[in-house]
Structure 1
Amino acid sequence: MSGQNNPTALSATYGQKLRFGGLAKNLIMPAVLLAFAAYLAIGIVTMTVPDGTSFPGPGFFPGLIAAGLAIFAVLLVVRAFRAPLAEATGDGSGEKVDWASLAWIVVGFGGFIALLPVLGWIIGAGLLFWAIARGFGEHRHIRSLIIGLTASSLVYIAFDMALGMSLPSGILGWEF
């Protein structure tokens, strides 16, 4: 009896090639995204909104962000479950977790959350952009910082002037 007709031999061969540790690793980021989306959703639901607030209210943009995070998390879960199949057919890359990059991103978010009241939106979000860019491998630090500060300044102005919502100004202490 040949091994190619034996379903047990086939499952043993593919079972050795499938790495379910890789599946667990690939589910970490979707779990983080879903946790942050849930945090935003809880904040939106428990937020006190003054009567007569017109559209878009203070929960609109955080709601968009939470929905986007949830969608990305679902897409990453689908990708994570497809990855073991790709590895079994030889299409997997076998990448390992880059702990330094992950640390740049996690510490960047943690620092942003902790220092937002002190640094303010412009500096805090600019530094967050820089840290995430660094985590994704960007080595042009001055360029990343300039882009981050420019984008955070534009967001600050848009929220304050266009939406009438003040973001924390922090040590800069200025508001329009």
Structure 2
Amino acid sequence: MSISEEDGAHPRVAMPELLLGIGFLACAGAVLWQTLAIPVSPLYSKVGPKVFPYITFGGMLVLALLLILSAVRGGWQQEEEKETPTDWRSMSFVVAGLVANLVLIQPLGFTAASVVMFTLVCYGFGSRRPIRDALLGLVLALAAYFGFAKALGVNIGAGIIENQLNAAIAALTGTIGG
């Protein structure tokens, strides 16, 4: 218990946590706004394309309100966590990974951009094994890409790697099947 709570005073509002909660509330609002913009055919009965976005909005709204309530009550961080300085060098690698993904996804494709992002984020979180991280990122990115492209039929950005693999798969299946 902090000194201010022992004296009977109300705990101070934790501003960083409050801002995070408000930001999450704004994201929930964006989800609602975009959900309302989804066109719905009169052929749908009760379950249509808006059901899961509404569920997502509801979950985000509840979490945002819980975050704000926690911040108003003093925040969720322990005192020693609040005193820990931000590691800006590590944070810069994480941000660089996210920016690299945005910049590289169009020219190189989903997989290559994701591998670069994954490797930089791992480095930012303390990994010093970039080859291992890149290989793991490659496996995860290919699984995600082929899961979306083949299983769901959603193109999330084919690039150099995906086109080569698709050509190899087509050649193998053409040889095996024909």
TM over 0.5, shorter chain: yes
SS at match of 1:139: coil
Instruction: Tell me how far apart the structure 2 counterparts of residues 144 and 56 of structure 1 sit (CA, whole Å).
Output: 40
Q: Where in structure 1 are there 5+ consecutive unaligned residues? A: 1-6
SS at match of 2:128: coil
Alignment-derived partner of residue 111 in structure 2: 122
CA separation of 1:84 and 1:171: change in aligned 2, threshold 3 A: closer
1:164 aligns to 2:147 (yes or no): no
Instruction: Tell me how far apart the structure 2 counterparts of residues 45 and 145 of structure 1 sit (CA, whole Å).
Output: 40
Q: Which one of the candidate residues 85, 93, 96 is aligned to 1:104?
A: 93
| TM-score of the aligned structures, taking structure 1 as reference length | 0.59
Q: Which amino acid letter does the alignment assign opposite residue 24 of structure 1?
A: M
Q: Where in structure 2 are there 5+ consecutive unaligned residues? A: 167-178
Q: Which one of the candidate residues 104, 119, 122 is aligned to 1:133?
A: 122
Instruction: Tell me how far apart the structure 2 counterparts of residues 144 and 103 of structure 1 sit (CA, whole Å).
Output: 18
Count residues with an aligned counterpart.
158
1:10 aligns to 2:3 (yes or no): no
Alignment-derived partner of residue 146 in structure 1: 135
| TM-score of the aligned structures, taking structure 2 as reference length | 0.58
Alignment-derived partner of residue 24 in structure 1: 15
Instruction: Tell me how far apart the structure 2 counterparts of residues 48 and 131 of structure 1 sit (CA, whole Å).
Output: 39
Instruction: Tell me how far apart the structure 1 counterparts of residues 139 and 55 of structure 2 sit (CA, whole Å).
Output: 22
SS at match of 2:134: helix
Instruction: Tell me how far apart the structure 2 counterparts of residues 35 and 100 of structure 1 sit (CA, whole Å).
Output: 28
Query: Offset of 1:112 from its aligned partner?
Result: 0.8
Instruction: Tell me how far apart the structure 2 counterparts of residues 126 and 164 of structure 1 sit (CA, whole Å).
Output: 22
